Structure 1
Amino acid sequence: MEFSELIHTGWAQAELPRGPEALPLRGSLCVTLYHLLLSPGPASCVDLWLLLLRSVYFFEKQVASDSGTITLRCKDLRVLQLEIEGAEATLDIAPSIETNAWRLSEVNGDFSLCPRYPRAVIVPHVVDDDALARSARFGQGGRFPVLSYPLLPAAP
């Protein structure tokens, strides 16, 4: 299974309520394997909103006839509700961001598959350790597909 197969719908129109004193952020929601992006569009003066999926510890969806709500409870105690246009879009986006799509594997526990990877790696739940070991034989330096996020340089 390709990692990209976990994403059923890559984007939808959404609204993110931001509290009683701020207008909701409305725009295009983009779903990737690692994060959610909400872009209000080029004409807006509001910044892009980004959420790393690994910061979500609880996920809930509610669907009505023509829309849906995805509630995300984050590890930093934030609770976010995304109002998605279209029930079908909500149902397609939900499996892409559910946290049970990933698991922790210790297939590289002794660093024998890939000396550059850590002992424990995050991989898709549907890929077993045998498949990871087989794919490491074909990757340069024993590399195999894992969930990673690039480190950004420190601010000056």
Structure 2
Amino acid sequence: MEFAELIRISRCDRVMLHQPHKAVLDGTLCITGHHLIVSSRDEEPQELWLLHSNIDTVERRQQGMTGGTLWLKCKDLRILQLDIIGADQFAKVSDTLEDLTRVDEPTLLYPFFYRPMYTVLEDGWTAFLPESEFSRLVQSGDDWRMSYVNKDYKVSLIYTSALSASS
């Protein structure tokens, strides 16, 4: 799947962002394959970068042909409000965000998709050995052991292949 297929509108001007404990931000909304970005048009620029995977629900309230309001309920318990002018732009933004927040394939999410613009000097997966780190932390007589139940990542895609487990 290409994220370009899900993005119906990539830029929307004259958007008002309401955030808790912050002044209202009047700016431009940009939607990329992984982020929602709101940039102010003020002399002192402000930006909000929000990963689509951090958005739990998108609630919409259309206000006739003038546009509408989107409430983004985030997984970090923030509730953001976006006021969008224009019914067509409002519909395209809300449909796009709803589709981008429903991506279920883990390998399409940002950490797997990100390609740094610099050369990676070392492989982070081999930076340390779980067994040696485990032996440093556990004292003899503790009821902990190494478990390889997730060796082939069949139990959990997000846990490592070697885990410490209580006996």
Query: After TM superposition, is the score higher than 0.5?
Result: yes
The structural deviation recorded for 1:147 is 6.1
- Segments of structure 2 that go 5 or more residues without pairing to the other structure are 119-167
CA contact (8 A) 2:73 2:79 kept: yes
TM-score, normalisation: structure 2: 0.59
**Following TM superposition, where does structure 1 have runs of at least 4 consecutive aligned residues deviating by more than 4 angstroms?**
150-153
SS of 1:103's equivalent in the other structure is coil
- Segments of structure 1 that go 5 or more residues without pairing to the other structure are 105-119, 124-145
Higher alpha-carbon deviation: 79-88 or 43-52: 43-52
Partner of 2:30: 30
Q: In 2 relative to 1, CA 121–2 (structure 1 residues): closer, same or farther, beyond 3 Å?
A: closer
* Counterpart Cα distance in 1 of 2:76 and 2:117: 21
TM-score, normalisation: structure 1: 0.63
* Counterpart Cα distance in 1 of 2:114 and 2:30: 17
Partner of 1:83: 83
Letter in 1 for 2:17: L
Judging by fraction of residues, say which structure has more helix: 2
Larger Cα-atom Rg: 2
* Counterpart Cα distance in 2 of 1:78 and 1:22: 12
Please show how residues 94-113 of structure 1 align to structure 2 within 5 Å. Answer: 94-98=94-98, 99-100=101-102, 102-104=103-105
RMSD across aligned positions (CA):
2.6
Partner of 2:7: 7
Percent identity, please: 31
Letter in 2 for 1:17: H
Please show how residues 1-156 of structure 1 align to structure 2 within 5 Å. Answer: 2-13=2-13, 14-19=15-20, 22-41=22-41, 43-65=42-64, 66-98=66-98, 99-100=101-102, 102-104=103-105, 121-122=107-108, 148-150=113-115
